[in-house]
């Protein structure tokens, strides 16, 4: 009953319909304060309970995010390892060592970094460039390991390794394998347009294909093959000077010469 009178007095007090005495006002405000404190404690308990529940949810979500991150990293590392191993298989069929693809990977990384590509692209080309010759798995051994110059017919067969490699990965949605497809397809294109298989020229050739072309040729010339001896550094330098703006992107050749000692250091560190 007193509670109803109290509520009535609040309404009248707010509406200005009743003028309370000082004692009534004091009592009224005291009751309001007690009611406020009572409700505040209840609200605090609710908030504390919600906080505990939110912290538990955050902990569970954090654990799930960490597991997802670890799983994603594991998938990426597995992809990289598979790509590298496949590149290794392709090179082993042509009597080349695993160090060839390791060197090409590191040369490509340096060129991409100095050229100013994004970190994502730099890391990707380092991991995708070992697949440049993966299409060699489809070339017969008697051609792949022939110790003398190819006949025109044999050379046409040899050139198919670019499209074979491209076809292996062209349907993939993974950025790593998409880049591997591009590199396999374009690393034998030439700046002036007389390369293969498409006869692309200049910037029609992706930057990834142009970078890997330099990395691959530099390493191939400096390595012994069944059909040739390793070239001297002086002879290799002469070729790149002559082929600047012909076979190779001139800007990339300049970067190559500016950082030549880094390339030589990698070559010496991972020699066959």
Cα–Cα distance, 145 to 142 (Å, whole number): 6
Write out pLDDT tens, residues 83-118.
666 666 666 555 555 688 899 999 999 999 999 999
| pLDDT of the residue at 95 | 54
pTM for the full predicted model: 0.71
| Helical axes 22-93 vs 98-115, angle rounded to 10° | 130
Domain edges within the chain: 2-63, 94-269
Listed range (14-23, 44-53, 98-107) with the worst mean pLDDT: 14-23
- Is 136 a catalytic site residue? yes
Give, in words, the CATH class of 94-269: mainly alpha
Top pLDDT among 126 and 11 is at 126
- Measured CA to CA, the distance from residue 231 to residue 218 in angstroms comes to 10
Q: Which of 13-17, 36-40, 55-59, 229-233 is predicted with the least confidence, judged by mean pLDDT? A: 13-17
Which residues are CB-contacts of 133 (< 8 A; sequence separation ≥ 6)?
87, 90, 91, 94, 161, 165, 184, 216
Q: Is 243 exposed, middle or buried (0-12, 13-18, 19+ CB in 10 A)?
A: middle
State the catalytic residue, choosing from 55, 136, 146, 229: 136
Count of residues in the chain: 272
Instruction: Give the span between the Cα atoms of 191 and 213, in whole angstroms.
Output: 10
Whole-number pLDDT of residue 195: 98
Q: What is the pLDDT of residue 137?
A: 83
Positive or negative, the CA dihedral 127, 133, 137, 142 is negative
- Token look-up 């600047």 returns 244
The pLDDT value given to residue 19: 55
Give the 3-state secondary structure of the chain. Answer: CHHHHHHHHHHHHHHCCCCCCHHHHHHHHHHHHHHHHHHHHHHHHHHHHHHHHHHHHHHHHHHHHHHHHHHHHHHHHHHHHHHHHHHHHHHHHCCCCHHHHHHHHHHHHHHHHHHCCCHHHHHHHHHHHHHCCHHHHHCCHHHHCCCCCCCHHHHHHHHCHHHHHHHHHCCCCCHHHHHHHHHHHHCCCCCCCCCCCCCCCHHHCCHHHHHHHHHHHHHHHCCCECCECCCCHHHHHHHHHHHECCCECHHHHHHHHHCHHHHHHHHHHCCC
Residues 6+ apart with CB under 8 A from 210: 186, 189, 191, 248, 249, 252
Distance CA 139, CA 131 (A): 15
């Amino acid at each position: 009953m007193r509670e109803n009178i109290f509520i009535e007095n609040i309404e009248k007090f707010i509406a200005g319909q009743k003028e309370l005495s000082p004692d009534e006002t004091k009592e009224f405000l005291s009751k309001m304060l007690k009611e406020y404190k009572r409700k505040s404690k209840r609200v605090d308990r609710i908030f504390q309970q919600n906080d505990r529940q939110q912290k538990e949810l955050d902990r569970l979500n954090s654990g799930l995010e960490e597991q997802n991150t670890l799983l994603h990293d594991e998938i990426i590392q597995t992809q990289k390892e598979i790509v590298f191993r496949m590149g290794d298989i392709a090179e082993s069929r042509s009597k080349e060592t695993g160090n060839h693809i390791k060197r090409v990977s590191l040369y490509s990384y340096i060129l991409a970094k100095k050229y100013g590509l994004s970190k994502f692209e730099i890391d990707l080309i380092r991991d995708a460039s070992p697949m440049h010759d993966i299409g060699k798995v489809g070339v017969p051994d008697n051609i792949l390991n022939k110790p003398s110059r190819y006949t025109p017919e044999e050379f046409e067969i040899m050139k198919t390794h670019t499209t074979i490699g491209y076809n292996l990965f062209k349907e993939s949605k993974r950025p790593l394998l998409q880049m591997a497809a591009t590199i396999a397809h374009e690393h034998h294109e030439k700046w002036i347009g007389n390369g293969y298989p498409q006869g692309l020229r200049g910037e029609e050739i992706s930057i990834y294909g142009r970078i890997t072309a330099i990395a691959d040729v530099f390493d191939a010339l400096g390595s012994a093959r069944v059909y040739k001896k390793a070239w001297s550094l002086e002879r290799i330098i002469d070729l790149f000077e002559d082929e600047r703006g012909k076979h190779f992107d001139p800007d990339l050749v300049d970067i190559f010469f500016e950082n030549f000692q880094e390339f030589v250091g990698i070559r010496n560190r991972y020699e066959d």
